[in-house]
Amino acid sequence: MKHRRRASLFVCIAILLVALWTTGTAARRPVRARHGMVASASAIASRVGVEIMKKGGNAVDAAVAVGLALAVVYPVAGNIGGGGFMTIRMADGRTTVIDYREMAPGRASRNMYLDERGRVIPEASTIGYQAVGVPGTVAGMALALKKFGTLAWEDLVRPAEKLAREGFPVDDRLIRSLRAYRSVLSRFPDSRRIFLHNGRGYREGDILRQPELAATLRRLMEYGPDEFYRGETARLIAEDMARNGGLITLDDLKSYRAVERRPLRTTYRGYEIITVPPPSSGGVALIEMLHMLEPYDLAALGHNSADYVHLLVEVMRRAFADRAAFLGDPDFSPLPVAGLISRAYADERRKTIDMMRATPSTEIGHGDPLPYESEQTTHYTIVDAAGNVVSNTYTLNSGFGSGVVAHGTGILLNNEMDDFTSKPGVPNQFGLIQSEANSIAPRKRPLSAMTPTIVLKDGRPYFAVGSPGGPTIINTVLQVILNIIDFHMNIQQAIDMPRVHHQWLPDRIVYEPFGLSRDTIEALKRRGHTFANRPRYMGDAQGVMIDPQTGMRLGASDGRRGGQAVGF
């Protein structure tokens, strides 16, 4: 009898915790503003973007300033030593994606991370100088500004330079991230000096000043964005690489180009989806999953019910199996994108879903799209008074990237080379299996999961969203979209609701604390699903919605990591 009472008590506590999650998130309201809104991982950076718009800048101007500010105040992921994707929809209807993904150095080679026996060398693609891809952030911000901005480059760099020079208060969140990556940062002298305070560590409220980074930003202000790739900054990066066995040369930096790509577009229940093409896999996988889900009445299944989670997992595992098989850099090989995002292909994939039984990932494999042809990262979303929208995701890959600060620059460098396929069939640091299509080659861009997305309603911007989180990015964006369109949540509720994730391999459901009841988990196990050993939080979504009735900007920042939406 005692055991039964304890079991009943446990169930009651679990139900209460789930109820507290959902009622708590329902009580959180979006930040409301009349003119413009910035939702980012840092309140400081969000305020920088708002000030730019107050001075007459548009959403693209603000996006450049926010990206550079995050490089100072959010060093775990904000960067000028990494790369990313910016989805833009201007008020006049023009849309584009700025691809400023990092590139493999000219001396990179297919098997560079394998030993003499063909085994992947531990940490070779994740830590240190050989893990670094040619950074694209400065070029990407400059291209966006040139095409769609209105203010001068130096005015958008100035707030970041001031933050680096004068410093900002260290908060608990930054201290926790520095502690988590202490072992990596301590391996490199400049990283240890700047971010670990010469090994002493920082206390909450200490001022973090970054004079070398401030000097780099001053050079960018004075000489323009090309200075990063051809000037003193480029020379310092190339020399530090040469001293430490890195592959990036001055020629690699001079050769880097950000490019515009045509966004992927589809509709879902009458809403228009605008998202990223390869070399990000995010848009392809997102559209494939939305097409598979559209015939189902998701609201009738019940949010995060056993039926709903089962269906989500089944479409996720199929989309991720296709991602692993087919996607890479479109500049290096033809990709079956049109087939993968076609509704006919989704219909064929959907036919293999059994609502009463989990399909083991070993039985899934990829589909055949050809007949249908015709993880640390950060995101911010900006809407201005005119209705221009920017959804930007950029990254160093792991937290603090490779751990390397290029000597004399203050710039943390990415470890994006791990996003290539070191060896087909061997998972990367995120557990992703990838194919020959994503193998390493000079000047090639690695496959990404970044999914900055804009959604239109009746031809007008309705909301925009994106998230960090490695492969969980794609499924985070998917679930936010479903929460809004199918379950009629506001942007804050949609972001706060608990999430699930499946990426084909490893064959397990990742879920969040208090996100699924014990009964739901047991029901899914009876259908053959396997769960991760313990729950964990996923993503850090940042979104902005435009209220169709009032035109108010509704900003929402994920509570999982403590960002902030700021409007005016």
Let me know if residue 196 belongs to a domain: no
Dig out the tokens for 64 from the structure. 């450049």
Q: Which pLDDT belongs to residue 536?
A: 96
Let me know if residue 107 belongs to a domain: yes
pLDDT means per 10 residues, the chain with 568 residues, are 41 40 59 98 98 98 98 98 98 98 97 95 97 98 98 98 98 96 98 97 97 98 98 98 98 98 98 98 98 98 98 97 94 95 97 96 82 75 98 97 98 96 79 81 97 98 96 97 98 98 96 96 98 96 97 97 95
Let me know if residue 290 belongs to a domain: yes
From CA 500, how far away is CA 511, in angstroms rounded? 5
Q: Cα–Cα distances in Å, from 497 out to 263, 290, 352, 503, 530?
A: 28, 19, 29, 20, 22
Dig out the tokens for 413 from the structure. 């460098």
Q: Which pLDDT belongs to residue 372?
A: 66
Let me know if residue 423 belongs to a domain: yes
Give pTM, 2 decimals. 0.94
Let me know if residue 189 belongs to a domain: no
Instruction: State which residues form the domain around 82.
Output: 1-167+209-568
Describe the crossing of helices 59-73 and 137-148 by its angle, rounded to 10 degrees: 160
From CA 536, how far away is CA 509, in angstroms rounded? 11
Instruction: Give the total number of structural domains in the chain.
Output: 1
Closest CA to 131 of 247, 250, 258: 247
Query: Which residues, at least 6 apart from 534, have a Cβ–Cβ distance to it below 8 Å?
Result: none
The answer to whether 96 is a known catalytic residue is: no
Set 87, 126, 233, 377: catalytic member: 377
Q: Which pLDDT belongs to residue 373?
A: 58
Share of the chain above pLDDT 70, in %: 94
Strand order in the sheet with 453-457: 31-33, 553-557, 542-546, 460-466, 453-457, 271-275, 264-268
Residue carrying the six token digits 């330079």: 161
Q: Which pLDDT belongs to residue 27?
A: 58
From CA 75, how far away is CA 72, in angstroms rounded? 6
Let me know if residue 192 belongs to a domain: no
Q: Which pLDDT belongs to residue 26?
A: 44
Closest CA to 515 of 17, 96, 159, 4: 17
**In this structure, what are the phi and psi dihedrals at residue 548, rounded to the nearest 5 degrees?**
-60, -30
Note the helical H segments in 149-293: 153-166, 172-180, 182-185, 189-195, 211-223, 227-230, 232-243, 250-255, 282-293
From CA 73, how far away is CA 209, in angstroms rounded? 10
Dig out the tokens for 135 from the structure. 């950074």
Q: Which pLDDT belongs to residue 18?
A: 41
Residue carrying the six token digits 């729950």: 535
Let me know if residue 203 belongs to a domain: no
Query: Are the C-beta atoms of residues 286 and 453 closer than 8 Å to each other?
Result: yes
From CA 394, how far away is CA 376, in angstroms rounded? 9
From CA 407, how far away is CA 396, in angstroms rounded? 17
Q: Which pLDDT belongs to residue 92?
A: 98
Let me know if residue 178 belongs to a domain: no
From CA 279, how far away is CA 133, in angstroms rounded? 15
Query: Are the C-beta atoms of residues 446 and 132 closer than 8 Å to each other?
Result: no
β-pair partners for 546: 553
Closest CA to 419 of 466, 473, 366: 473
